Structure 1
Amino acid sequence: MSRVGKMPIAIPKGVDVAITADQISIKGSLGTLVRPVNSLVTVKSADGKVTFAPANDSVEADAMSGTMRALVNNMVNGVSKGFERKLTLVGVGFRAQAAGQKLNLQIGFSHPVAKDMPAGIKVECPTQTEIIIKGSDRQVVGQIAAEVRAIRPPEPYKGKGIRYADEKVTIKETKKK
């Protein structure tokens, strides 16, 4: 059996778990997340813990039990603590500004770029060169951060662009004559 799938998930206070035959719903202080349950995995909730077991002896069921456990653990952490991704802007005159559910970027193009945020995602700009994307769904937070970064990824010669706060950009040496 999967090592990850064997570990039960402890449910913190203030988090409600509802398991039906085809989906699992987790409700907490930061919202509600719903995920369909794979038919290869049996999910049980008892004594404040959620356990996962493969429905049969196939390799796919064993692997999927660990995957479902990791996804549900991220849902529990998301509705209780939340997730965030930090981005930084590197470049002269590069600025970001959060206005409600919009992120306005001035990143060296001839026009400003506006990115709309989906429901459940908050964007903050503590300084003009920092962007913080927060939300309860880890996958959506990561996807939005990747889409913002893709607007102007860091280029390899000067390192200008939008990068993750913990990202190391390797600078190439310029051509010599």
Structure 2
Amino acid sequence: MSRIAKSPIKLPAGVEVSLSANTIAVKGGLGKLERAQYAGVKVVQDNGALTFAPTNESQEAHAMSGTMRALVAGMVEGVSKGFERKLSLVGVGFKAQAQGARLNLSLGFSHPIVKDMPEGIKVETPTPTEIVIKGVDKQLVGQIAAEVRAFRPPEPYKGKGVRYVDEVVVIKETKKK
């Protein structure tokens, strides 16, 4: 059995989990998330904890029990604490501005870039060169951050572009004569 699936998920105060035949719904202070339940994994809720176990001895059921446990743990953390990704803009004249559910970017192109945020995602710009993307869905927050970074990824010679705050860009040495 997956070692990850063996550890139960402790539910924090204020988080409710409802299990049905084919969905798992997690509701908390920050929102509500639903995920389809894999048929080969049995989910049991007791004493404020969730446990995951494969229903049969197939390799796929063992693997999916750990995967389901990790996905539901992310859902529980998302509705209780939330997730955020921080991006920084490096380059002369690069700036960002959040306007409600829109992010306006000036990244050195001849035109401004406007990114509309999907429902459930909040974007903030504490300074013109910092972007903070927040939400309850871990996958969606990471996807939106990756899409914003893809507008101008860091280039290897000067390091200019959009990068994650904790990202290390290795700068290449220029050609010598």
TM-score by length of 1: 0.99
Paired residue for 2:34? 34
Deviates more, 1:37-46 or 1:81-90: 37-46
Quote the offset at 1:175 in angstroms: 1.3
- After superposition, give the CA deviation of every residue in 1:102-154 in whole Å (9 maximum; x if it has no partner): 00000100111000000000000000000000000000000000000000000
- 1:46: Cα distance to partner? 1.0
Query: Aligned-pair distance for 1:76?
Result: 0.2
> Where does structure 2 lack aligned partners over 5 or more consecutive residues?
none
Match of 2:7 in 1: 7
Q: Which residue of 2 aligns with 1:80?
A: 80
| Runs (4+) off by over 2 Å | none
Question: One-letter code of the match for 2:74?
Answer: N
The DSSP-based 3-state class of the residue aligned with 1:29 is coil
How big is the shift at 1:174?
1.0
Aligned residue in 2 for 1:70: 70
Say whether 1:24 aligns with 2:24.
yes
CA-based RMSD: 0.5
Identity rate, percent: 68
| TM-score normalised by length of structure 2 | 0.99
Offset, 1:78: 0.1
Give 5+ residue unaligned stretches, structure 1.
none
CA distance in 2, matches of 1:86, 1:153: 14
Residue of structure 1 in register with 2:126 after alignment: 126
Aligned residue-pair number: 177
**Residue 155 of structure 1, CA deviation:** 0.4
